[in-house]
Amino acid sequence: MADLFHEIKHKLSGANISIVLPEGTDERVLDAAEKLQAEGIIQPIVISSSENLPKSLTVIDPKTYEGMDDLVSAFVERRKGKVTEIEARALLLKDVNYFATMLVYTGRASGLVSGAAHTTAETVRPALQIIKTKPGITKTSGAFIMVKDELRYIFADCAITIAPTSEDLAEIAVESAKTATAFGIKPKVAMLSFSTKGSAQSEETEKVVKATKLAKELAPYIAIEGELQFDASIVPTIAVKKAPGADVQGDANVFVFPSLEAGNIGYKIAERLGGFEAIGPILQGLNAPINDLSRGCSVEDVYKLVYITAAQALE
């Protein structure tokens, strides 16, 4: 873990990355912001109307923000007639996530971290409406960096898409490989199933077979293999028996789960029984980095996810 964040801090040194934290009323967020401010590597921007915050922090109060007119105009234009100027102003004054997302959209901040006091939907909705997904990407997805000692893996989708289609899984695979690369992992992607190379056949396994084919077409330069059971993806001796000649030979480091329930259960088993630290979820496929905290997060969780978001912004 220390090595991962040492690498990130080294990359960010002198990069002038700013991350907006909409939840300036949450003590965990404020404590993390103070720690970040003291380090001087990332510039935290706190959204709050309170007058009692530490003077060292950069704080923006939407009610007195001089750039509000510009944000309102940009929001109306981005929503293409779905909101009036009056409605836009009211929303930006009322909802800190919308306000903060507009700071990112207009280049006033490099990325955003929220979710300590808001649901995933409250964090993701403004991002999807304003930041939107990258060209060619139809949905965002949520990945975790799983870290234990020198081991680093990517698990996805563990946070967003409940029942992904083959097309969704292919996108998730490619975006997860990009996430891996951004954090020093040379991606080898396993498309997970309860079947390995036709050992079982059902609609569920065929979905993963099709997803693997689509993912390889999208990114032929990435090692992507499926369908694979987890043991065949991670244990070389089992891979030789179950998937001889596969592009991934028991050395996978990016794991794409066939459903949200599988991904969510999988990362929590690795975290609670396997002793891995789960960092995320990292939202993939957006035009700018917007990331979601758990409402049960700690100060350290906020701090780390800000660094992860800043690293995404740098990429």
Digit-coded pLDDT (tens) for 75-127 = 999 999 899 999 999 999 999 999 999 999 999 999 999 999 998 889 999 99
- Percent of the chain's residues with pLDDT above 70: 99
277 closest CA partner among 35, 41, 4: 4
Cis-peptide into 157, omega within 30 deg: yes
Q: Count the Cβ atoms, other than its own, within 10 Å of residue 37.
A: 17
* Residue 50, pLDDT score: 87
Q: Grade residue 3 by pLDDT with cuts at 50, 70 and 90.
A: confident
- Helix or strand (DSSP H, E) at 89: helix 85-94
Q: What is the mean pLDDT of the chain?
A: 93
φ, ψ of residue 224 to 5 degrees: the values are: -130, 130
pLDDT digits (tens, 9 = 90+) for 139-180: 899 999 999 988 999 999 998 999 999 999 999 999 999 999
User: Domain 1-132+287-315 carries which CATH code?
Assistant: 3.40.50.10950
Task: Average the pLDDT over 36-42 and give the result.
Answer: 94
Place of tokens 């929503």: 79
- Helix or strand (DSSP H, E) at 154: strand 151-156
* Residue 2, pLDDT score: 53
Domain definitions of the chain by residue range: 1-132+287-315, 135-285
Let me know if the fold of 1-132+287-315 is the same as that of 135-285.
Answer: yes
Task: Average the pLDDT over 207-213 and give the result.
Answer: 96
Classify domain 135-285 at the CATH superfamily level: Isocitrate/Isopropylmalate dehydrogenase-like (3.40.50.10750)
φ, ψ of residue 68 to 5 degrees: the values are: -60, -40
Task: Average the pLDDT over 245-252 and give the result.
Answer: 92
* Residue 271, pLDDT score: 94
* Residue 1, pLDDT score: 47
